[in-house]
Amino acid sequence: MDVVVVGAGVAGLSCARALSEGGARVRVVERGRVVGGRLASKRFDGRYADLGAAYFVADDPDFETQVASWEARKLARPWTDTLRVYPGGEPSTGPVRWAAPGGLRSLAADLADGLDVRLSTTLDAVPEDADAVVLAMPGPQALRLDPPPAIRAAAEAQTWRPVIAAVLTYPAREWGDLRGAFVNDHPVLATVCDDGDRRGDGAPVLVAHSTAELAAQHLDHPEAAGPILAEAVGELLSLKSRPEVHVHRWTYAQPEQVDGSFAHDGRVWLCGDAFGKPRVQTAWLSGRAVARALLG
């Protein structure tokens, strides 16, 4: 069986990995220059910062097995079970959040290792030269490929919110034991994470994620949101220094949950983290579910 997986994020790579292990011939097509999708790490001044997913959790047995493999090879580590909640700044305990010393994209690179991955490759239609095609991407992006009716309907049913991420590099650490924080009822700021703490290198770097409302206002010129987010973080944490600011726009960042593990129409499949609670784990499971259905 020949399968084309379009999209080299977590869903696409987990699907391709499972298909390859099951004996299928798989090629992964990715329009970006690197694998990972929203499992994104970008180098600034010689250091990678995580500017997509902030962390991941694992409470599914199959995904826990994958995470145990990453931990055994020192690609992932348990980070924290406590984040602060603002207003107030009180600590809140929840599930263990996992991070990656080499940046979260290193986990995508591990999933891609040994696969036929073709980067910087743009498609304008669903490929015809395969027994099956897996669209591992947000629904609005899948619509650009003119998919068959059931896939189109499933893609149109998805709702996504944008986010702008700001990587804030300070002269020195001023914020003590922060780890990360959820910011409720704020006009521009949704979360802020201590990237030096989650990566384990102690770098004076915070990564802030905007509200969907701020992102929607600045999608055409995301750099304009950088100073706004930097000011909001400074006020929240009472910081005196001004940071160096880099921003990244995520047009399709946060999906509303839809039913099922994937969508299917003939030889075309759609998967991703919209099919369940929006998590890294959900994307991984959705891709695996498609692979199992194809191999079944």
The domain over range 2-43+104-157+259-295 is classified in CATH as 3.50.50.60: yes
Taking the C-alpha atoms of residue 191 and residue 181, their distance in angstroms, rounded to an integer, is 6
Predicted confidence at residue 46, as pLDDT, reads 87
Spatial contact of 189 and 86, defined as CB atoms under 8 Å apart? no
Domain ranges of the chain: 2-43+104-157+259-295, 54-103+160-255
Residues 55-59, mean pLDDT to the nearest whole number: 98
Residues 55-74, mean pLDDT to the nearest whole number: 98
Q: What is the pLDDT of residues 238-277, one digit of tens each?
A: 999 999 999 999 999 999 999 999 999 999 999 999 999 9
Distances (CA, A) of 39 to 9, 36, 49, 52, 241: 7, 5, 11, 6, 29
Predicted confidence at residue 70, as pLDDT, reads 98
CATH of domain 54-103+160-255: 3.90.660.10
Q: Is the pLDDT of residue 45 over 90?
A: no
Percent of the chain with pLDDT over 70: 100
Q: Is the pLDDT of residue 295 over 90?
A: yes
Spatial contact of 95 and 60, defined as CB atoms under 8 Å apart? no
Tell me what the pLDDT averaged over the chain comes to: 97
Percent of the chain with pLDDT over 90: 98
Tell me phi and psi for residue 286, to 5 degrees: -65, -45
pTM for the model stands at: 0.96
Q: Is the pLDDT of residue 103 over 90?
A: yes
